[in-house]
Chain A
Amino acid sequence: MALVKARLNRKRLWPYILLAPGLIWLMAFFVTPIYQLLTTSTQTPGVNIGDYIQTYRFANFIDAIVGARAQFLRSFEYAFIATALGLLISYPLAYAIAFKSGRWKNTLLVLVVAPFFTSFLLRTVAWQQILGEQGLVIKVLRGVHLLGATGHLTATPFAVVAGLTYNFLPFMTLPLYASLERIDPRTMEASGDLYANAFTTFRKVTLPLSMPGVVAGTLLTFIPAAGDYINAELLGNPSTKMIGNVIDARYLQIVDYPGAAALSFILMVTILVMVMLYIRKAGTEELL
């Protein structure tokens, strides 16, 4: 009897033991930092630069958001455009890999993932050269007179959005591929048998079945893109700075820890709310 009980107890404990590494990880690297972020965000400056005292000044949040309104909106605007472009580029690509690539499938998948073999930073620096004065793009655009002799592509909003789109493309392509690949081709055949043309089949069968991929891909692109600052820093100009640049400058240049913490927190909550609304709208709860 006792033996059975002990076995039962152990059985009940197992899920917790299995969860422990993840929970400890989350406590140490998510809950603790969030707590620190929150306590920092209500502090006010002390005597020396970098000294801060806890005064529970919640107005820090208002100051932060008022001061960085423009960059905040810009971040979501750029992230939205990059996500939309990413979807337009990735869907056909993922579709082709899933259904039309035949024996090239693995090669193509490796090619999609290949950019990850290089650092994010270096890939963005490479874009400075691709779009820069000595690059091919600018020569072609000048050649066909789409760009004047003094026109430039780097240090423009175009370059920032292009960089964002490029850098997060694999995050869009892979989930799309995964959900498209799972679709049973017979469902499409059945759609054809029921006299649906190719477009209707896509609209009524393929697209709805791939929605989990679309939702996952857009989230995986939008969230990091909205918080990114590398692309705006390296490819933008002073008028294209995003919220990540503001947080970076507040932490490291101005040494305003409370302001930076407040902004980080607002950014996190905003993205969280947007994501929840989006998922509710898209109706793919199985993602969560």
Chain B
Amino acid sequence: MTENIDQSIPPDLAGFNSAQISRRALLAGAGGATAISLFGTSGIESASAANATVRWANWSLYLDYDNKSKKYPTLVDFTKKTGIPVKYMEAIDDNDTFTAKVTPQLKLKKDIGYDIVVPTEWMAARWINSGFVQKFDDAAVPNKKNVLPFLLNRPLDPGRHYSLPWAGIIAGIAWNKKKLPAGINSIEDKTHPERGLFSNPALKGKIEVLSEMRDTIGLIMMWQGVDISKPFTQDKFDNALNYLQKKIKDGWIRQIKGQSYAEDMISGDAVAVIGWSGDINQLNLQNQNQFGFAIPESGGTFSTDNMMIPSTSTNKAGAEAVINYYYDPVVAARVANYINYVCPVSGAKEAMAKISPAQAKNPLIFPDDAMWKNLKVFRDLTAAEQIKFSTSFQKASGNA
């Protein structure tokens, strides 16, 4: 069964999107990190001076933004309500790069400049295991009760004492509907080649895949019939890697990229990608609904980005207040309405119905049972596996 999701633009969403293209253009193929650290700080510093500023590092396009006021409306409301100023920075472009940059300071117990960070689940687990985060004071985060129950007991942090999910990310396949009206629904299809990403001859040399190993390799492994959430052996991983390597060698894959694949989708240099649901949703809002997104028949990957307080933070109370605020269902709905990623807060769907009825029915924000069945989380890797897999993946990408 194919999850071919209707991505038409709800009229009530059309307003705020002119903001995104310019900000995205700025971040464009910058390859990420450098550009973001150079230009990516759009902060809010106001309100009462009595409270210390909370410094929050997040991914780009991951919080509701108003182009007219150049502010993040939910953050403005937070500061108005609590008097706590927040400096919001789009400082994370890649889990590895971001972590590699702050690790030396974390080890020396020197302030890394952030009170909240939002790495992806597997990387969040590494932070927790390394002792780089602070335990929440449960009384300061009462809204934790609103987190969807199945996300409360993830293996990275059972009971969620150190981390809370900011948003859920689905990786699947996406394509340019102008150039590929029929769309695709699998990684490769031997009986109907035109339906597969790596079998439709029109896509040769026009495909980009994610530099996030767990998503790209995960989708291929699932297509090869491996359950990525259960223990699997090295040879299963190698099979998928060989497949990827062959597709690179045969000229199917143009580039392996982070979030900047979106730029190439807009320019037409890439016609189909392995990409993230929310990105495609946002691209459609800016580009006349030009892109299709599907979870392959063999399944897609699911993960979460997680809010955590670094061990070096001196403003834990402020950070907890911010975190708590975003698990209010109404606030969560406002954010999800903008970012289009899976909303981790129960009650947000009902709140969304009041803001935007169309979005309340969007399965990419509020997945239904059928969709959940088709999504898998990549299993935890040991440190040794992580290094081995990551090295092989970089090798396949030509980087090692």
- Which partner residue on chain B sits nearest A64 by CB separation? B400
Docked complex Cα distance between A230 and B34 (Å) = 11
Cβ contact within 8 Å between B269 and A154: yes
Cβ contact within 8 Å between A50 and B399: no
Chain A positions 135-158 with a Cβ under 8 Å from a chain B Cβ? 150, 152, 154-155
Q: Which residues of A contact B355 (CB under 8 A)?
A: none
Q: Which residues of A contact B34 (CB under 8 A)?
A: 121
| Contact pattern, B 97-133, Cβ under 8 Å of A = 1, otherwise 0 | 1001101000000000000000000000010011000
Cβ contact within 8 Å between A245 and B30: no
Q: Does B49 contact A (CB under 8 A)?
A: no
Q: Which residues of A contact B399 (CB under 8 A)?
A: 238, 241, 245-246, 248-249, 253
- Which partner residue on chain A sits nearest B209 by CB separation? A238
Q: Which residues of B contact A241 (CB under 8 A)?
A: 397-399
| Contact pattern, A 115-148, Cβ under 8 Å of B = 1, otherwise 0 | 0000101000100110011100000000000000
Docked complex Cα distance between A239 and B268 (Å) = 21
- Which partner residue on chain A sits nearest B249 by CB separation? A239
Cβ contact within 8 Å between B248 and A152: no
Whole-angstrom distance between the Cβ of A159 and the nearest chain B Cβ: 11
Q: Which residues of B contact A185 (CB under 8 A)?
A: none
Docked complex Cα distance between A251 and B204 (Å) = 32
Whole-angstrom distance between the Cβ of B257 and the nearest chain A Cβ: 9
Q: Which residues of B contact A254 (CB under 8 A)?
A: 387, 390-391, 394, 400
Chain B positions 230-264 with a Cβ under 8 Å from a chain A Cβ? 248-249, 253-256, 263
Q: Which residues of A contact B202 (CB under 8 A)?
A: 150
Docked complex Cα distance between A256 and B383 (Å) = 13
Q: Does B35 contact A (CB under 8 A)?
A: yes
A-B CB contacts (within 8 Å), total count = 111
Docked complex Cα distance between A248 and B94 (Å) = 13
Q: Does B40 contact A (CB under 8 A)?
A: no
Q: Does B137 contact A (CB under 8 A)?
A: no
Docked complex Cα distance between A197 and B248 (Å) = 54
Chain B positions 20-56 with a Cβ under 8 Å from a chain A Cβ? 28-31, 33-35, 38
Chain A positions 242-265 with a Cβ under 8 Å from a chain B Cβ? 245-246, 248-256
Q: Which residues of A contact B387 (CB under 8 A)?
A: 45, 49, 254-256
Whole-angstrom distance between the Cβ of A237 and the nearest chain B Cβ: 6
> Given contacts A125-B29, A133-B268, A150-B204, is CB(A255)–CB(B398) below 8 Å?
no
Q: Which residues of B contact A129 (CB under 8 A)?
A: 267
Q: Does A207 contact B (CB under 8 A)?
A: no
- Other-chain contact of A133, B29, B129, B269, B386 (Cβ < 8 Å): B269
Q: Does B205 contact A (CB under 8 A)?
A: yes
Q: Does A33 contact B (CB under 8 A)?
A: no
Q: Which residues of A contact B94 (CB under 8 A)?
A: 252-253
- Which partner residue on chain A sits nearest B399 by CB separation? A249
Q: Does B6 contact A (CB under 8 A)?
A: no
- Which partner residue on chain B sits nearest A253 by CB separation? B96
Q: Does A48 contact B (CB under 8 A)?
A: yes
> Given contacts A48-B130, A154-B269, A249-B399, is CB(A237)–CB(B383) below 8 Å?
no
Q: Does B396 contact A (CB under 8 A)?
A: yes
Q: Does A240 contact B (CB under 8 A)?
A: yes
Cβ contact within 8 Å between A238 and B253: yes
- Which partner residue on chain B sits nearest A248 by CB separation? B399
Q: Does A67 contact B (CB under 8 A)?
A: yes
Cβ contact within 8 Å between A253 and B97: yes
Docked complex Cα distance between A245 and B383 (Å) = 23
Q: Which residues of B contact A134 (CB under 8 A)?
A: 267-268
- Which partner residue on chain A sits nearest B95 by CB separation? A253
- Other-chain contact of B248, A119, A125, A236, A238 (Cβ < 8 Å): A238
Cβ contact within 8 Å between A246 and B397: no
Cβ contact within 8 Å between A255 and B30: no
Q: Does A228 contact B (CB under 8 A)?
A: no
Whole-angstrom distance between the Cβ of A125 and the nearest chain B Cβ: 5
- Which partner residue on chain B sits nearest A47 by CB separation? B383
Q: Does A39 contact B (CB under 8 A)?
A: no
> Given contacts A237-B254, A238-B396, is CB(A152)–CB(B100) below 8 Å?
no
Most B CB contacts (10 A, CB to CB) among A45, A253, A255 go to A253
Most A CB contacts (10 A, CB to CB) among B268, B269, B395 go to B269
Cβ contact within 8 Å between B29 and A128: yes
Cβ contact within 8 Å between B100 and A251: yes
Cβ contact within 8 Å between A240 and B398: yes
Cβ contact within 8 Å between A238 and B397: yes
| Contact pattern, B 370-400, Cβ under 8 Å of A = 1, otherwise 0 | 0000000000000100110011001111111
Q: Which residues of A contact B396 (CB under 8 A)?
A: 238
Docked complex Cα distance between A49 and B387 (Å) = 8
Whole-angstrom distance between the Cβ of B104 and the nearest chain A Cβ: 9
Most A CB contacts (10 A, CB to CB) among B38, B100, B129, B400 go to B400
Provide a sorted-by-A list of 7 A–B residue pairs whose CB atoms are within 8 angstroms. A50-B100, A129-B267, A132-B267, A150-B204, A152-B206, A237-B254, A249-B399
List the 10 closest pairs (A to B, CB-CB), nearest first. Answer: A249-B399, A241-B398, A238-B398, A133-B268, A155-B254, A252-B100, A252-B97, A253-B96, A249-B394, A233-B31
Other than A238-B397, A256-B387, give 18 A-B pairs with Cβ distance below 8 A.
Answer: A67-B395, A68-B400, A71-B398, A128-B29, A128-B263, A128-B269, A134-B267, A152-B206, A234-B29, A237-B248, A237-B398, A251-B100, A252-B97, A252-B101, A254-B387, A255-B96, A255-B100, A255-B387
